[in-house]
Structure 1
Amino acid sequence: MGMHRIESPVTGKVWKLERQVGDQVAAGDTLLILESMKMEIPLDATATGVLKELLVGEGDEVQENQVLVVVAS
């Protein structure tokens, strides 16, 4: 079983969570939406598997390259 850590591409804020821990996800599924400079940026799964860890919540401030989600495949 592989673990895929998904990082924030930008500094910003978690606007909306689209999935929860334990959900089955496919590569390309949107996991959450970030807001940065008034733009909405979807963060998509990079692998098919189970959403193992969600390390942020709605409204949390995040930094570029911060790990936000872990998917187990």
Structure 2
Amino acid sequence: MGELVAAEMVANVHSVTVSVGDQVDAGTTLLILESMKMEIPVLCEDAGQVSEIKVGPGDVVQEGDVLVVLS
């Protein structure tokens, strides 16, 4: 399994900005979470390829939930 990108807080998934198969660089926005009327970008820490997206717009995530898997 590759790098797991997890939620750092309870939030709603506002939008997903990448697709499976996309090559991403460090600092790329993977998705946008919304909490308390604030939009919070979830950034990629390392370059890689998106191998799995585990959430979609409208989903509610808990702290520690896996959002995206990179390989």
TM-score by length of 2: 0.95
The residue number in structure 2 matching 1:3 is 2
Q: Which residue of structure 2 aligns with residue 13 of structure 1?
A: 12
What's the TM-score once normalised by structure 1's chain length?
A: 0.92
Give the unaligned 5+ runs of structure 2.
Answer: none
Gaps (5+ residues) in structure 1?
none
Aligned-pair identity (%): 48
Task: Give the superposition deviation at 1:47.
Answer: 1.2
- Which stretches of structure 1, 4 residues or longer, exceed 3 Å deviation after superposition? none
RMSD in angstroms over aligned alpha carbons? 1.0
* Structure-2 separation of matches of 1:70 and 1:18: 14
